Amino acid sequence: MNRRDLFKTSLAASALALAGRRAEASPTPAAAPEFPKAPGLTKSVAEFIVNTKYEDIPADVVDLGKKSILDGFGLALARTARIAWIWMLLPTCGAGKVGEGC
C-alpha cells in the first residue's frame, strides 16, 4: 500500500463515520456510530512507518517537523514559566487572598 492508497482508505473511513451521523436532534440518545471497518489499516500504517527512511522524507517536511517540535518545547516552557510566576505571587498575596488586590 502506498501513501495515496493509505490516504484514500483513511479518508473513506472518515467519510463513512460522518455519513452515519444525523443532523437532527432526537429525544432519545442515539447509539454510537459503528467504527468504520478498515481491515489491515493498522498493519499498513505500521509497514509504511517502518519502511520509510529519513532520506525519503522531503526537506520541507523535515523542516516543518523541526519547527513543530521547537514550538512544542516553547509552549511547554511558557507554561512552566507561568506556573512559576503563580507560585511566586501566592506568598506575597497571602493564603486565601488571591484575587483580592494582588
pLDDT, tens only, 5-31: 655 566 566 665 666 555 555 566 677
Contact 41, 10 (CB under 8 A): yes
pLDDT tens, 61-95?
A: 999 999 999 999 999 888 887 777 666 666 655 55
Render the burial of 77-92: b for 16+ CB within 10 Å, e for the rest. eeeeeeeeeeeeeeee
Report phi then psi at 40, rounded to 5.
85, 0
User: Residue 50 — pLDDT band, cuts 50, 70, 90?
Assistant: very high
Query: Which residues does 92 contact at the CB level (< 8 Å), separation at least 6?
Result: 102
Distance (Å, whole) CA 64 – CA 70:
10
Question: Cell for 52?
Answer: 520509510
Grouping H, G, I as helix, E, B as strand and the rest as coil, residue 55 is: helix
pTM of the model: 0.41
